[in-house]
Structure 1
Amino acid sequence: MNKTDLINSIADKSGLTKKDVESVLNSFLGEVTDALANGEKVQLIGFGTFETRKRSGRTGRNPQTGQEIVIAESTVPVFKAGNKLKEAVK
């Protein structure tokens, strides 16, 4: 399912227009992105938690040349599924 499919499905089930659903979805994604960029976490009880984690620097290899390269420390987004979501997927 892609974003368009999700918008269509929510619009059909909720009775809202596709334009309204797209606006709400874009706002939700923007708020989650902003929160993660500010180092906050977003917790949706039963669904899951969006947060960031530090990935430490390490040494890697260029697969084409075999040369060692240094991979810098980075911050990455992470999603941890909640219990209700895990049960629904089982």
Structure 2
Amino acid sequence: MADKSLNKTELVAKVAAATNQSQATVDTVLGGLFEALAESVAAGTKVSIPGWLAVERTHRAARTGRNPQTGETIQIKAGYSVKVSAGSKLKAAAK
């Protein structure tokens, strides 16, 4: 894990400074981005920003698990998950 993190407020401030926009404007745009991302993933649509990231909904089949406290076998229902893949520019920035 990284020692440093950037929360939403800090991200908004950083983007606002880099783009000469108000923090309120940047916050509204980021809110719209996250809302559109959530709606698309919920609908099963893959969202791809070439070079940066791809986000898609994946299906997990039902399976048998084990309760770690009792050791009892349990059935885990099928469900959905989200897969986020880093693009080439994001991977290069991490090096």
User: TM-score when scaled to structure 2?
Assistant: 0.90
Alignment of 1:33-72 (within 5 A): 33-72=38-77
Q: Show the 5 A alignment for 1:1-90.
A: 1-90=6-95
Distance 2:75 2:88 in 1: 38
The DSSP-based 3-state class of the residue aligned with 1:19 is helix
RMSD: 0.9
Query: Is there any run of 5+ residues in structure 1 with no aligned partner, and where?
Result: none
In 2: Cα distance, 1:17 partner to 1:30 partner: 20
| Distance in 2 (alpha carbons) for counterparts of 1:82 and 1:48 | 5
Runs (4+) of structure 1 exceeding 3 A deviation are: none
Gap regions ≥5 residues in structure 2: 1-5
Shift of 1:2: 0.9
* 3-state SS, counterpart of residue 66 of structure 1: coil
User: TM-score by structure 1 length?
Assistant: 0.94
The share of aligned pairs that are identical, in percent, is 37
In structure 2, how many angstroms separate the alpha carbons of the residues matched to 1:69 and 1:9? 47
Give the SS at the match of 1:49.
strand
